[in-house]
Structure 1
């Protein structure tokens, strides 16, 4: 029972830190264009791992 005295404030503190981190990411614009990043990842050309000249 005495462990709840320590665990409840710890859990509340972790929640507050998580909320502050979330609000910071929203304020800094991390979620502005999620669809653009996804399509950019799929449609950009990657460099080949092995050059064709080396084969």
Structure 2
């Protein structure tokens, strides 16, 4: 039973940390253009430059 006094605050700190990281990611623009990487692969021009 005493282990709960350690595990509950530790898990609460983890949950708050994950929530803060997710909140920061949302407002830092991490999810603004999620499909840009997928489009960059399709739009990539592999042709050699003209000589």
Aligned residues: 45
Structure 2: gaps of 5 or more residues: 47-51
Moved over 4 A (4+): none
RMSD: 1.3
Structure 1: gaps of 5 or more residues: 47-55
With the length of structure 1 as denominator, give the TM-score of the two structures: 0.72
Q: Which has the higher helix share?
A: 1
Q: Which residue does the alignment assign to 2:20?
A: 20
With the length of structure 2 as denominator, give the TM-score of the two structures: 0.76
